[in-house]
Amino acid sequence: MIAALGEGESEIRGFLDAADPLSTMTCLQGLGVKVEKVQGVIRVHGKGLHSLQAPTSDLNAGNSGTTMRLLSGILAGQPFRTGLTGDDSLRQRPMKRIIEPLSRMGARISSTSEHTAPLVIEGCHPLHSIRYRMEKPSAQVKSAVLLAGLFGDGTTEVSEKTQTRDHTERMLGLSVVRTNDGFTASVTGGKRISPQAYQVPGDISSASFLIAAAILVPGSEIRLNAVGLNPTRTRILDLFRSLGASITVISERVIAGELIGDLLVKSSPLHGDVNLNAQDVAELIDEIPIIATTLALSSVSLTIRGGGDLRNKESDRIRAVVENLRGLGLDVEEYPDGFAFQSKKRLIPAECNSYNDHRIAMAFGVAGLALEGDTLIRSAECVDISFPSFWSLLERLQHH
């Protein structure tokens, strides 16, 4: 998206050939952006902030909440109207959180009565720059407002109590100021975006499934190359290490403003009790399913509160984790905003339901590796959303 708004041709290396990034690419092409794929490198021909064209039909974000929310920020500042839709799961996810700030900036956005997609965005240029204080932590909402701020008539500020992932700020080179009550990022309307060579770091949320597999399966040792170690994303490493996991970072380097390194992970017994609150959940939002299965299989007790937003993901992740863990023979207590379980020595393999959610499928796939006997994952193909090679990779690791 940022390359599409840049003034010239950008190259993206390390592009993930999965459903979500492809949804973004298709939406941008629908807005008249020329995108080429040459030998695994993506070339995006940006023509500046004001070069997007009105699409001839509705844009489809597929299963990708990131695509829908971030693109809405850009579309809010366009002088045309756009219809934006997605698959069944995405059309149930809450969009009021972006509709509210983008409407304050001057865009007119219509949605269903439940504030869900399909959306119709009547853009306006220039938008009114605003100061926006985030009620709930969400990197997607923050990025939507900052991207809209590129089309503002002044400086737009977004402040948050807990710093959520900051990839957008880094790529746009925005100033982020630490204040008494959190962090404030600001962007000035009309900011020119230079074309760049982007290197996409290995995604730590995807890597966390392989890290967990190495921790859990006795005698394992794996090296994961070029993983993104952005400080807003590495909380999962701190958590596993604090319980005794052997995770070493080798050859750290910075590429396109992002810290990258190789991870060496060895199987290790975990010990302790984990209590996660709302701020912790915000920092670990995508890793909660794999944390739950890893700790359940390591006899570590876990309590999560303040995680109500987990019910609004690709599936209701609280319900999905609770039901599947109970199937493995664990006593789990469910709360409106989380769940809890006490450690238990032995779990049993079972049939697990992915609820068509890629992270649930992968988390219980890893659990199946560590359990003796056969574990069945229903609708396992949903991993194609973010990690198409996951099952074959897991199998390869098993046979080493």
Q: What is the pLDDT of residues 263-312, one digit of tens each?
A: 999 999 999 999 999 999 989 999 999 999 999 999 899 999 999 989 98
Q: Which of 266, 210, 202, 208 is nearest to 394 (CA)?
A: 210
Average per-residue pLDDT for the chain: 95
Q: What is the pLDDT of residues 194-239, one digit of tens each?
A: 999 998 999 999 999 999 999 999 999 999 999 999 998 999 999 9
**What does the pLDDT read at residue 39?**
87
Q: What is the pLDDT of residues 130-167, one digit of tens each?
A: 999 999 889 999 999 999 999 999 999 999 998 899 99
d(C-alpha 329, C-alpha 325), whole Å? 7
Residue with tokens 């207590």: 333
Structural domain range at position 343: 204-398
Residue 281 belongs to a domain with what CATH number? 3.65.10.10
Residue with tokens 């049939």: 351
Q: Which residues are catalytic?
A: 286
* 159 and 211, same domain (yes or no): no
Q: What is the pLDDT of residues 165-204, one digit of tens each?
A: 999 999 999 999 998 889 999 999 999 999 999 989 999 9
* 320 and 362, same domain (yes or no): yes
* 322 and 185, same domain (yes or no): no
The identity of residue 160, as a single letter, is E
d(C-alpha 343, C-alpha 323), whole Å? 17
Give the chain's domain count: 2
**Would you list the DSSP string of 207-269?**
HHHHHHHHHHSTT-EEEEEEEE--TTTTHHHHHHHHTT-EEEEEEEEEETTEEEEEEEEE---
Residue 126: cis peptide before it, omega within 30 degrees of 0: yes
Confidence of residue 400 (pLDDT cuts 50, 70, 90): low
Tokens of 262: 């190789």
Q: Which of 215, 220, 237 is nearest to 228 (CA)?
A: 237
* 139 and 114, same domain (yes or no): yes
Tokens of 28: 């941008």
User: Cβ(121)–Cβ(147) under 8 Å?
Assistant: no
Report the percentage of the chain scoring pLDDT > 70.
100
* 319 and 183, same domain (yes or no): no
* 107 and 231, same domain (yes or no): no
**What does the pLDDT read at residue 393?**
93
**What does the pLDDT read at residue 237?**
97
**What does the pLDDT read at residue 345?**
75
> What does residue 390 show for φ and ψ, rounded to 5 degrees?
-55, -50
Edge-first strand order for the sheet with 131-133 is 131-133, 155-160, 182-188, 175-179
